[in-house]
Amino acid sequence: MADADELTAMTPAQKKLFELRMKMNAGRKANKQEVAAEHDRIKNSDKKAKKEEQYKKREEKKLVVASGKAHLNETAEVAEIKTKKAGKKEKRKAAFGWDVFNQDSLYKGYKKRLVSLPTAGKTSTAVVAASDDALGDELAYGKDDKVEEANVERMAQELEDRIKARKKFSRRRQHYEGEDVDYINGQNRIFNRKASQAFDKYTVEIRQNLERGTAL
């Protein structure tokens, strides 16, 4: 900004030009301030409108849930996805405790066995007639001794596969007999194992010397 001596030394035209420049600078500064203020107003109004909309949706959901008709707000696609997820979760759910012996668990195991069991084709002893006389006595079911050799082989092979699968199965052990107990709880056990993996190559000899009493 020019001082008083410079202003007095200016010609009328220079003074006029100087005043115009000062007005332009002031207008530019005021314009920037107004743009920033307008941006803040729009941003705040958008946030406020968004919050109001979210609050309105939450209240509507609460009313629908309270009325017990939450499923009415779901599309068919969302409902189908939820049903599939629930079915998969039910299939993956492991039996607990004595539930491993209940009928549902046994049936699940039976269905798993059927997946790997080879299916038989048409047998020569298939029943042709559909009358009651041709079906025979229901109490005599399973007494027919005409069993094909191929079916017996299929059953024997499936049983052998089950025995092999049981031999391969091994449950993860939480503790191995003969393992040194250097922990006070499960968390400390994990920490000690990680520390051992990282530093045993440096400290195993020192620890052995301390245990033998031969440390320097």
pLDDT for the residue 140: 63
Q: Are 161 and 116 in contact (CB under 8 A)?
A: yes
Tens place of pLDDT for every residue, the chain, 216 residues?
556 677 777 888 888 888 898 899 999 998 998 888 888 888 877 777 788 888 888 888 787 777 777 777 778 888 889 888 888 887 766 655 556 567 777 787 788 777 766 665 554 444 444 444 445 565 666 666 677 888 788 888 888 888 888 888 766 666 667 777 888 888 888 898 898 888 888 888 888 888 888 766
Q: Are 70 and 64 in contact (CB under 8 A)?
A: yes
pLDDT for the residue 173: 62
Copy the structure tokens of residue 127: 């029943």
Which amino acid is located at 203 in the chain? T
136/128 Cα distance (integer angstroms): 12
pTM recorded for the entire structure? 0.30
What is the DSSP secondary-structure string of the chain? ---HHHHHHS-HHHHHHHHHHHHHHHHHHHHHHHHHHHHHHHHHHHHHHHHHHHHHHHHHHHHHHHHT-GGGGS-HHHHHHHHHHHHHHHHHPPP-GGGGGSHHHHHHHHHHHHHHSPPP---TT-----SHHHH--GGGTT------HHHHHHHHHHHHHHHHHHHH--PPPS--TT-----SSHHHHHHHHHHHHHHHHHHHHHHHHHHHT---
189/39 Cα distance (integer angstroms): 58
pLDDT for the residue 120: 56
Q: Are 124 and 148 in contact (CB under 8 A)?
A: yes
